[in-house]
Structure 1
Amino acid sequence: MSTITQELTRERTHHDRCRTALTAMIEGAHEQVVVGENASASGADAEVLGYELRSRAKEMTELPQGPLFFGRLDFAGVRDGAVAGDHRGQSYHIGRLRIGEHPAAPPLVVDWRAPVSRAFYRAGAHDPQGVAVRRRFGWAPGSRGDSADLTGFEDELLGQGEELSGPSAFLAEEIERPRVGPMRDIAATIQPEQDELVRGDLGVSVCVQGAPGTGKTAVGLHRAAYLLYTHPQRIQRGGLLILGPNRTFLAYIAEVLPSLGETGVRQSTVDEEIARHPVRAADSPEAAAVKHDARMAEVLRRALYARVRLPADSLALRDGSYRWRVSLGELERIVAQVRGEAPPYATGRERVQTRVLALVRDQAERRSGTRTHAWLRAMGRQVRGFLDEVWPRVKPEEVLAELLTDPSGAAAGGLPAAADGILSAAEQKALVWEKPPRSVKSAKWTAADLVLLDEIAGLIEHPAGYGHIVIDEAQDLSPMQARAIARRARFGSLTVLGDLAQGTTPWAARSWPALLGHLGKPDAQIIPLTTGFRVPEAVVELANRLLGALDVDVPAARSLRTDGELNLLPVPVREVAAATADAVARALAREGSVGVIAADAQVPELHEALTAAGLPAAGPQELGARLTLLPASLAKGLEYDHVVAVEPAAVAQAEERGLERLYVVLTRAVSRLDVVHSRPLPF
């Protein structure tokens, strides 16, 4: 038996041992739940203990099946291992989670997020970091973790100054593996520049300008997993939120964190986070543009605080047969002072009440001694009428409804006064409801209205925040949406992911500093990722032709993959639908997923043509489908092995940021791209 075969047998045996240990860990987690439920503890302690044990058992049970390790580090021995420190002579298998036979025993597999694992991603011949040998393992495609699926290994003798002369075969195989179904994790393939971002400090906000195929989404998700592992208590206090552009995208990335051992993380959209009401109406483009503009923040602030008034008379409070008085001048001073402090609106009302009561209590105690809490509550009830006059309670819906139904400015918080010097007459006209509702309760709110309602709610009372928020496709956020996120990250940090060249909303960001200011993190470091690992060079070069026509300043992308294919027909076809069906049939003859992407209006026609050709296509929500037909508006963030891009000119002309949309469409292919067209190409 050869040395290589013997070594492979040893590794398979070790994997069997790891599988047995993991099974014991899962069974042990369930046993702990039973023991914990019967433990003697106070009600609160028992509830916390039970929750933690059940959560741990659930996490262990939900771990996806697959290989338990993907790498190994052998550190240098005693003689030449000074740099290795406490790891001298040690060997560690690296996987997606820690596996051990006993908590006190050395682990059989080390979590990829552990400090010692850093060297697996960053060590090299020029800087071995104490590593003598770095080993990568090859597994059969689609392996569910059977030890027999371990097909080989690849060693780099870093301690001897030797590393692979070219790209790792196992790395390339993993990166280029056909894409069918949801997004996979990249724990086995993280590159040094990606690892630096993943392991960034929790207190630091970063913005990643990532060209297509550079792995920015994966970096953000792995950073979330790293922070959950490294700062569990700090993150659990505030929580961690993943924000994506839509539900299709969130479904696509949903399995990444569970595959890394992290479950229960909230994954949402901005609209879902701020949804106070269902969306039952649509704005005109002009109205939506104004509502998403940052200037609306000041308009809303004015409309809200227009309700605050100086008192008209002094205040007298009955205390049995006695009356305590607060002069008009003192009341005016209190209201003006609190207004100048600019607290949240609800806090301001409380401060006015507290300070008025403090004056009354001082009078009473000077006359006849200390007063009780019951006495203060009785006085407080008498102050409410005064508060309702000078600092009335209000709901966000009341403020916005009044703003949108008062073009004449009759109300104190009406549009003319609130928007004076901020919005033009045309912009104010675009905001006003054509048919005002009979009451606030019957109002039909638009998606942009919900953003405004959230702004007002944030002025009234600060929302609960998160310990960390990961925002993907952030370039599409409007300034007002960004402010909604900023309110939820006042005491937490952000990982901002995006590509200015892929901004497709009418209010998409043209520069990162402006958007980061709205997000409340103007000092966040902007880090470009320009080297692609997924999108082939031929596809990237085609997409780069569009960059000059986009009104953004981003570096051109480049790709390390030269194996891709681009089929750009030099002559327009006559029948686009028939040509698309032919291209799809050729694509399905090869391995991998196929995505047909077209302008939204063309999708029904293409669906009919594909069905007639015996090529029924799934919608974008069916992530495991071999063939998917999707509108260009839903393509962002998704990937397919083979993409058939239909009629680029129609995509480019369908909307205001159509060229940016086309840039997105062209860069969804991770192996092959066909471009079918009957009209001149925009590039």
Structure 2
Amino acid sequence: MPAHAPNPAPPAPDPLADPLARERAHLTASRAALRAMREDVQALDIRDVTANWVNAAVLQAQIEGRIKALADLSHTPLFFGRLDYLHTTQEGQRFYIGRRHVHDADGDPMVIDWRAPVSQPFYRASRKDPLDVGLRRRFGYTSGELTAYEDEHLTDPAEQNRTSKLLQAEIERPRVGPMRDIVATIQPEQDEIVRSGLSGTVCVQGGPGTGKTAVGLHRVAYLLYAHRERLARTGTLVIGPNKSFLHYIEQVLPALGELEVKQATVDDLVAHVEVRGADEASAAVVKGDARMAEVLRQAVRSHVTMPAEPLMVVRGSRRWRIPAYELEEIVRELLDRDIRYGAARDALPQRIAHSVLVRMEQAGEAPDDRVQDAVARNPAVKTAVKALWPPVDPAKLVLRLLSDPDFLATHAEGVLSPDEQKTILWTKPARGVRSAKWSLADAVLIDEANDLVQRTHSLGHVVIDEAQDLSPMQYRAVGRRCTTGSATVLGDLAQGTTPWATASWAEALSHLGKPDATVEELTAGFRVPREVIAYASRLLPHMSPGLAEVKSVRESPGSLSVREVEATDLNAAVVAACAESLDNEGSIGLIAADARIPSLAEALTSAGHSYLSPGEETTAESRLTLVPASLAKGLEYDYVVLDEPAAVVDGEPDERTGLRRLYVALTRAVSGLILLHAAPLPAQLGR
């Protein structure tokens, strides 16, 4: 009987038959390709490439920057989405969308930068307008590992009403530490702003949780991608309201591969003197008024004097006489041109020298440019220029304006009222610039005076966040930094908490020097739960009537808890609420009126709870941050414990500002808000 052949062994399972396994394999291959890209740059030998050491140093710095940009951050997913195209030029093409471009050894793309045009449909495509995309795939990650995917078949009618669970989970993901990018969750209306052109200025009005800060930062990243060479020459700057806020956002752009963008506060920009003093609110309002620019302009120009006698220039054996009336014509012509004081002063000796050369030519001589330059350096000409157009020190000028009532009255006549002049005058005049107790508003005035003397350097693009709190003079200071560039202005009129807070964006943009800017409004909230934002919005009619209420897309039942306690038990109740919140995953912010911070700090310490200060969230020492209400703007926490709302309101100089401060504090929570009070709640919150 013939022997039977053994049964063939079953084929080994193909690990790549599983879609998730295939995506993980692509992730592994992409990471290997990124490492190879970095190794190729590290292996570059430039010893015989450059002609001199200067070029070598520049090229080496560029190489080191490229190596740093190609670092593989293990906790940051290399790609977060995939597009499968249907027809047109991308027929059958599949693109993985990520934070940076990655290509293989043959130069074929493995990951497409999210800013590339081919990536745009990932954010804009919809079932109504699929933009030639058949499938959009989103990926879910856990600790940097690809763990899930979710498909949207944009041309399938059966999926018309399905929402993305991965997208929602990413939006709601608990946050610990600094602000992170939203590159995987940008919404169509946000993407439109992000990809707007470099030539125009955009103002984004957005309520809490609408993502305006993230939109502004991602716009910077997009502009650097689309106009890298131009912005590399002209520079880019992000301006925030305070150092704590800048620490909070500082990791967003590096995560997107942009390492060279500078960050500063307005105070950093105008740091011409050491700030050691503070103004009363009434004085700060007047100093921040745009009319102060005219006062300064008149004060600067007042240094120019008209000649009373002719000028005699001696060259060799000849003397050349310029009559006083001709000198006056030269001076008045420069004044009428209204150019900067320093530029006009530099031009004056050349104008005088030109008049001398005209006389030389009339006498039969043939002087050239070298003779004109020599005449301009003549001691008599230098002496005349010093007398007619003396140098101006901006700090000394402002010091005199604030110290000398007569000098201020002369140049503020018809601009500031006598009462306003009295408000900004120092009660104790300083002896000199170094001994003066300058305020922040004074520093802005010095910056304005400095620009009247010499032009401020302009950047290619400037982002101003929390702009609603800038004074008109601060807007002018920022505007000087982008006179030849563009800006992204971010803010919320309802969150203006300074006495000089912006009344309208049209007015603010005029002071910025960008009156033709486009104003966009974001009204869809993605971070703050619907119950919390609806409660906070009760304040809007009382502080910002007419402003659109944010409509949150997030439903989170039980996210708001309002608790009344006895005054003697308030601190203990706050500490207990913090402990309760720490049982959840994510960050916790304890927000309180500034005056209450020392008492709460002592209570937390006594209870054994460590805590951070705003801006220290990058450390891992604690998930709890103790936040003065004055520093809460722009920050976000998964859970917020809000202490004594009435104290927050009472801590401000007037009720409207206090309500706005409370509105800010109420809207910092991403997952839950516990509000504790012993005093009656502000009546504007209702029952």
Q: Which residue of structure 2 lines up, in the alignment, with residue 246 of structure 1?
A: 242
Normalised TM-score (structure 2): 0.93
Which aligned pairs between 1:225-244 and structure 2 lie closer than 5 A? 225-244=221-240
Q: Shift of residue 2 of structure 1?
A: 10
Deviations 1:347-387 (A, max 9, x none): 11122222111111222234221335266235423311111
C-alpha spacing 1:330/1:634, structure 2 compared with 1 (3 Å): same
What amino acid is aligned across from residue 606 of structure 1 in structure 2? Answer: L
Aligned counterparts of 1:592 and 1:234: Cα–Cα separation in 2 = 40
The 3-state SS of whatever aligns with 2:120 is: helix
| Pairwise CA RMSD | 1.8
Which aligned pairs between 1:42-57 and structure 2 lie closer than 5 A? 42-57=52-67
Indicate the larger mover: 307-316 or 218-227. Answer: 307-316
Q: Which residue of structure 1 lines up, in the alignment, with residue 370 of structure 2?
A: 373
Deviations 1:540-572 (A, max 9, x none): 001100001104531011100002534433644
What amino acid is aligned across from residue 634 of structure 2 in structure 1? Answer: G
Q: Which residue of structure 2 lines up, in the alignment, with residue 675 of structure 1?
A: 675
What amino acid is aligned across from residue 88 of structure 1 in structure 2? Answer: E
Q: Which residue of structure 2 lines up, in the alignment, with residue 39 of structure 1?
A: 49
Pick aligned residue for 1:489 from 462, 474, 482? 482
Q: Which residue of structure 2 lines up, in the alignment, with residue 299 of structure 1?
A: 295
Pick aligned residue for 1:171 from 157, 167, 171? 167
Matched, 1:457 2:455: no
Deviations 1:316-373 (A, max 9, x none): 1010121111121211111111101100111111222221111112222342213352
Pick aligned residue for 1:93 from 92, 96, 110? 96
Which aligned pairs between 1:201-212 and structure 2 lie closer than 5 A? 201-212=197-208
Q: Which residue of structure 2 lines up, in the alignment, with residue 599 of structure 1?
A: 593
Percent of counterpart pairs with the same letter?
Answer: 49
What amino acid is aligned across from residue 86 of structure 1 in structure 2? Answer: T
Aligned counterparts of 2:96 and 2:157: Cα–Cα separation in 1 = 21
Q: Which residue of structure 1 lines up, in the alignment, with residue 4 of structure 2?
A: none
Aligned counterparts of 1:482 and 1:564: Cα–Cα separation in 2 = 41
Pick aligned residue for 1:553 from 541, 546, 555? 546
Deviations 1:173-232 (A, max 9, x none): 111011110001011000000000000010011111001000000000000000000000
Matched, 1:384 2:382: yes
CA contact (8 A) 2:354 2:372 kept: no
Deviations 1:129-158 (A, max 9, x none): 111111111111xx23xxxx2112111112
Q: Which residue of structure 1 lines up, in the alignment, with residue 314 of structure 2?
A: 318
Matched, 1:653 2:650: yes
C-alpha spacing 1:37/1:644, structure 2 compared with 1 (3 Å): farther
Pick aligned residue for 1:402 from 389, 400, 403? 400
CA contact (8 A) 1:307 1:391 kept: yes
CA contact (8 A) 1:92 1:109 kept: yes
Aligned counterparts of 1:92 and 1:237: Cα–Cα separation in 2 = 32
The 3-state SS of whatever aligns with 2:46 is: helix
Q: Which residue of structure 2 lines up, in the alignment, with residue 139 of structure 1?
A: 141
Q: Shift of residue 621 of structure 1?
A: 2.6
Which aligned pairs between 1:247-262 and structure 2 lie closer than 5 A? 247-262=243-258
What amino acid is aligned across from residue 281 of structure 1 in structure 2? Answer: G
Q: Which residue of structure 1 lines up, in the alignment, with residue 9 of structure 2?
A: none
What amino acid is aligned across from residue 623 of structure 2 in structure 1? Answer: R
CA contact (8 A) 1:500 1:552 kept: no
C-alpha spacing 1:157/1:167, structure 2 compared with 1 (3 Å): closer
Pick aligned residue for 1:342 from 338, 342, 348? 338
C-alpha spacing 1:64/1:658, structure 2 compared with 1 (3 Å): farther
Pick aligned residue for 2:150 from 154, 173, 185? 154
Which aligned pairs between 1:503-582 and structure 2 lie closer than 5 A? 503-563=496-556, 565-569=558-562, 571-574=564-567, 575-582=569-576
Q: Which residue of structure 2 lines up, in the alignment, with residue 282 of structure 1?
A: 278
Matched, 1:583 2:577: yes
What amino acid is aligned across from residue 85 of structure 2 in structure 1? Answer: F
CA contact (8 A) 1:63 1:261 kept: no
Which aligned pairs between 1:54-133 and structure 2 lie closer than 5 A? 54-61=64-71, 65-76=75-86, 81=87, 85-102=88-105, 105-133=107-135
Normalised TM-score (structure 1): 0.94
CA contact (8 A) 2:206 2:521 kept: yes
CA contact (8 A) 1:530 1:558 kept: yes
CA contact (8 A) 2:35 2:72 kept: no
The 3-state SS of whatever aligns with 2:327 is: helix
C-alpha spacing 1:372/1:521, structure 2 compared with 1 (3 Å): closer
Q: Which residue of structure 1 lines up, in the alignment, with residue 359 of structure 2?
A: 363
Aligned counterparts of 1:89 and 1:356: Cα–Cα separation in 2 = 74
Matched, 1:13 2:13: no
C-alpha spacing 1:187/1:379, structure 2 compared with 1 (3 Å): closer
Aligned counterparts of 1:251 and 1:62: Cα–Cα separation in 2 = 23
CA contact (8 A) 1:539 1:564 kept: no
What amino acid is aligned across from residue 537 of structure 1 in structure 2? Answer: R
The 3-state SS of whatever aligns with 1:154 is: strand
Structure 2 residues without counterparts, runs of 5 or longer: 1-12
Aligned counterparts of 1:97 and 1:570: Cα–Cα separation in 2 = 47
Aligned counterparts of 1:261 and 1:465: Cα–Cα separation in 2 = 24
Q: Shift of residue 101 of structure 1?
A: 1.8
Q: Shift of residue 160 of structure 1?
A: 3.7
Q: How many pairs align?
A: 662
CA contact (8 A) 2:590 2:627 kept: yes
C-alpha spacing 1:339/1:379, structure 2 compared with 1 (3 Å): closer
C-alpha spacing 1:165/1:286, structure 2 compared with 1 (3 Å): same
C-alpha spacing 1:473/1:361, structure 2 compared with 1 (3 Å): same
Q: Which residue of structure 1 lines up, in the alignment, with residue 662 of structure 2?
A: 662
C-alpha spacing 1:134/1:372, structure 2 compared with 1 (3 Å): closer
Deviations 1:8-57 (A, max 9, x none): 1111111110010111122222223xx12542324554343233222212
Pick aligned residue for 1:434 from 421, 427, 436? 427
CA contact (8 A) 1:537 1:560 kept: yes
Q: Shift of residue 660 of structure 1?
A: 0.4
What amino acid is aligned across from residue 680 of structure 1 in structure 2? Answer: P
Aligned counterparts of 2:89 and 2:491: Cα–Cα separation in 1 = 40
Aligned counterparts of 1:235 and 1:286: Cα–Cα separation in 2 = 40
The 3-state SS of whatever aligns with 1:440 is: coil
Aligned counterparts of 1:115 and 1:283: Cα–Cα separation in 2 = 50
Aligned counterparts of 2:320 and 2:133: Cα–Cα separation in 1 = 80
Deviations 1:640-671 (A, max 9, x none): 11100100001011113111000000000000
Aligned counterparts of 1:11 and 1:570: Cα–Cα separation in 2 = 48
Aligned counterparts of 1:14 and 1:585: Cα–Cα separation in 2 = 43
The 3-state SS of whatever aligns with 1:393 is: coil
CA contact (8 A) 1:299 1:422 kept: yes
What amino acid is aligned across from residue 101 of structure 1 in structure 2? Answer: D
Matched, 1:24 2:27: no
CA contact (8 A) 1:565 1:673 kept: no
Aligned counterparts of 1:163 and 1:93: Cα–Cα separation in 2 = 22
Which aligned pairs between 1:181-196 and structure 2 lie closer than 5 A? 181-196=177-192
Deviations 1:492-541 (A, max 9, x none): 11110000000011111011111110011111111110100000000000
Indicate the larger mover: 353-362 or 339-348. Answer: 353-362
Indicate the larger mover: 88-97 or 359-368. Answer: 359-368
The 3-state SS of whatever aligns with 1:70 is: strand
What amino acid is aligned across from residue 664 of structure 1 in structure 2? Answer: V
Aligned counterparts of 1:37 and 1:565: Cα–Cα separation in 2 = 65
Pick aligned residue for 1:640 from 637, 641, 648? 637
